[in-house]
Amino acid sequence: MSIMVLAIDDSRTIRSMVHQALAAAGFSCELAEDGVEGVRRFEELRPDVVITDINMPHMDGFGVIEAIRKDVANRRVPILVMTTETAKEFKTRARDAGATGWIGKPFDDQSLVQVIRRVTGAA
C-alpha cells in the first residue's frame, strides 16, 4: 500500500513539483491550493502525511496545523511545513502548533522523499 501525502500550497508550481517528486518515489499525492481546502481534503482523504506551506490565502499553515491537531485522532499524523520562511519564531510557532518537521524551499526531491519515509516509518 502506497503512502498517501496531502500537499497544501498556493503555488501551482510548487504543487506540481511536489507531486512529480512524490509520484516518482511511488507515493500517492493529493493536492490542495489553500488551507481551507487542505483541511477539507484532510478530512476526506485521511492521508499518512501532510505537507503545508505557511503563507497562503484563506487559512495559513499555522491554521492548518491547528485545525488538524484539534482532533486527538490526528495527533500522530506527521505534518511537515514547507516554506521559504526561515525565522526562528516561525519554526517555534509551527512546532508549538504541532508540526513534525520543517523543509525549506526550494526543496531537494531526494531529501523530501527521505523525510517522508522517515516520519512514516518507511525508511
Angle at 109 between CA 103 and CA 115, to 5 degrees: 50
User: What pLDDT does 57 receive?
Assistant: 93
pTM, to two decimals: 0.95
The domain 4-120 having CATH identifier 3.40.50.2300: the answer here is: yes
What are the residue boundaries of the structural domains of the chain, listed by start? 4-120
Per-residue pLDDT of the chain (123 residues; tens, 9 = 90+): 589 999 999 999 999 999 999 999 999 999 999 999 999 999 999 999 999 999 999 999 999 999 999 999 999 999 999 999 889 999 999 999 999 999 999 999 999 999 999 999 886
Other C-beta atoms closer than 10 Å to the C-beta of 104 total 13
